[in-house]
Chain A
């Protein structure tokens, strides 16, 4: 079983090369200067995203299609990293990649729930496929057949043999009773993160340390935002909130989540965990606008962890993981730009939403 220097020699070299291909904050600023979507796409064509956009005709240039095309780069990055990663770390990377399949699965289920309100002259699958992440050969769900099955129950039956079968079989009882996708989505999320954390725990030494740091930071972000949103927006009871969150992570401890569930002051908890995030109180005073900002700041915390992984001893899983997470954040930024340019948003409306700033590079 290759690990350490031997296992990571090729991949760390390759990942560093791919890392250098990520867009610099200055390039992101330049892209943000584009007057409209065609100009943005034209500028993107001169970046490493160019090869994914070269076949896009002007008539195809809808925001969804452009986003779909640029996401192909992330899919390629995952594919490349999975192939080169040491064998014992591949399950972790594949599970990390499954995040997008979980997203696809939710999108498919939502589409089935809402298909009746759609224009009937456009096939359901044609509408859905453009919003799905291009998962390629890694896909384990028959998305098209699920959409065409017409009902959530039939679609879930098609998950037989997939990694989601067991989770969905439990959650479907609740869906049948409540006819609401919320329990299905929560169950999928919890199972995904538990599995991912379980994969981190199977690693050893430096891999485990770096995996715990990066995946744990990502988990913290999600767990904390779930807890806050469940309490503020969903008004869930303490026991429900605990059951819908997770007891592990990098900085966020189970006691923190339980304290939020029990009604403690959220701002003081967040400030204690992340002392460098300013004015948490002000953010939580206006949750409608404050929570997205808090999430934005937490994502930047994760990005900083990722960037720091590239400093120091390079032969561990931290580099590939950090690169993949940074690639994802970069695409999130590009999605903001694409949506902003197609909706003709003003600079001050979309620039604060960009994750990559000169402070993180």
Chain B
């Protein structure tokens, strides 16, 4: 739960004769994340015909899909689909050819007739706007002085076409308004025919194409076209019925073919990425260690001669290439979503989901502490999670429920219920309800100070987790001199003692933890300078530990530039430590603001507990839940993304994507 699933690297060596059986097992079980063996440099060690096969299966699959589409069949697999073996292309292709030929003959006729119908209908639509004009259409072409263009133009181009003709005399009619294909008629002097033609052509105007066999007035041509359309429609119905009949008779055969070719294609795609030796194949990949034993026994059933070498991968060291399978937990899904927005954990790295599942509601509740409003959010969240309201926001519902619960707990601690606090509860709600801890409105400085203390604890935890991650990955350079390494952490502790314990020590805002650290008998000022120098030279020291060039880019500006950059790094570190720590003041500030906002609502409601008073309180509470609830959510997210996760979480992990035929089977 704290880390991605333990993964094992698996290397399989199998004889060529068992290739398909092993591939079937790997693809069918759904736990094997394949690595392209080409990376091992094995691809050139033997001839690989599978590349061509994979291409051929893929092409054949597309052809079968096209046939099914033509005969109106859904892309479905047989009800009882077994994962058998790769099919023999020579056996399958003639079957596909035969069906395709039969279907193609009818579908080509259908397609031809549809195109004819489309043309006839288009001609009819073009003529409709001028149906009542009692002139022969052919006459327009024969005019001696006028140039006429009648045609269909993309509707988006009409305005531009008009603009382009502004400088030549013309008349422009839109004969038929149509969202897609309006019919327009442009008429101008024959002397400008070249300009008119260029404008029409560049506006993609397709001139009306009336067949020569139709002559007469638009009305006469329209009648003829209607007759032809009727005849075309009848033919289309006959062809469609023929195709439906073919679909019915070939349904099961096509489904079986599609399934066989599909699994063959998936397996061939996998085999293409195997390494090939002369008589054996090498397969490399990753398997969750928990599934390894089961997979091994299945593979041994598939091939007696298979050699299986497994290496459990420790979480230490760098493992950029290890896929990361996270433990799925429906109760943590909304938190995983939040973490996912920031990054995908890498292997060996602590998955911050569990930590965030604790800190997110905690910080939210501390900022939005109200028993009544928290319970409303809890109920709202439960309703959303159970798809009773806002069905598409199931995960968000769970997050709202968690935050609502936390807000209710803090509301109990703060003695706040629907904004009523202290004497207001007795006065208006007629029962006694005291804060079990403190009231933010009455202990403002204490709340702010506690918030900074909480921030120090969380940031310290962040530093420690960052160091923990570095120890696990044996990244000693970053452990000692990284941004959240030992030197930076000790510098932070000294910084807390000197700045918050010493400098601000006498103020009411001084955090208790900083004061406690300051009271230790240690020379913090001196230590701060020492660790400050280490932080300043951290880049240099990291390079030294890692054995890299000591000063990066020393050609640019030389040593002086390096020193300036180091000083700037130290200043930046100081500023970020100060801002990161003070950033948590917002937790206390929002707790206080929450009380303040409630007071504002009471000021609007007045003192008399009449209907107006209660309506204002209800609307005010809804406003607080909707508006402040949202803002607090944003602040909580911000604290996590900027102040907490950055300390120890890098992300950038590769997602675990196993070979899987099951998903295809599920379609059945």
Contacts and interface: CB of A to CB of B under 8 A. Distances in A.
Interface of A: 5-6, 9-10, 13-14, 17, 29-30, 51, 54-55, 57, 84, 145, 166-167, 170-171, 173-174, 183, 187, 190-191, 194, 236-240, 242-244, 246-247, 254, 258, 262
A306 B62 CA distance: 43
B198 A240 contact: yes
Nearest to A177: B201
B641 A247 contact: no
B637 A10 contact: yes
Contact of B164 (A13, A51, A84, A242): A242
B204 A174 contact: yes
Nearest to A56: B39
B160 A243 contact: yes
B273 to A, nearest CB: 12
B38 A17 contact: no
Contacts of A166: 154, 180
B215 interface: no
Contacts of A173: 204, 206
B298 interface: no
Contacts of A238: 164, 167
B140 interface: no
A84 B165 CA distance: 45
Interface residues of B, number: 40
Q: Tell me whether chain A's interface is mostly helix, strand or loop, or mixed.
A: helix
Contacts of A244: 202
Given A9-B633, A57-B38, A239 B206 contact: no
16 contacts: A5-B630, A5-B631, A9-B630, A14-B342, A14-B641, A17-B641, A29-B556, A57-B38, A84-B341, A166-B154, A170-B206, A190-B157, A237-B198, A240-B164, A243-B161, A243-B202
B203 interface: yes
Contacts of A51: 320, 652, 654
Contacts of B161: 243
> Nearest 7 A-B pairs (CB), nearest first?
A243-B202, A239-B199, A239-B164, A242-B164, A9-B634, A240-B202, A170-B204
Contacts of B201: 174, 240
B321 A54 contact: yes
A299 B238 CA distance: 58
B163 A171 contact: no
Nearest to B58: A144
B195 A239 contact: yes
Contacts of A190: 156-157
A289 B167 CA distance: 33
A96 B212 CA distance: 45
B387 interface: no
B474 interface: no
Contacts of B163: 242, 247, 254, 258
Given A145-B62, A187-B204, A244-B202, A237 B637 contact: no
A9 B396 CA distance: 14
A190 B156 CA distance: 9
B638 interface: yes
B69 to A, nearest CB: 11
B138 interface: no
Nearest to A14: B341
B203 A13 contact: no
Nearest to B631: A5
Interface centre among B154, B161, B206, B637 (most CB of A within 10 A): B154
B204 A183 contact: yes
Contacts of A187: 204
B641 A13 contact: yes
Interface string B168-196: 00000000000010000000000000010
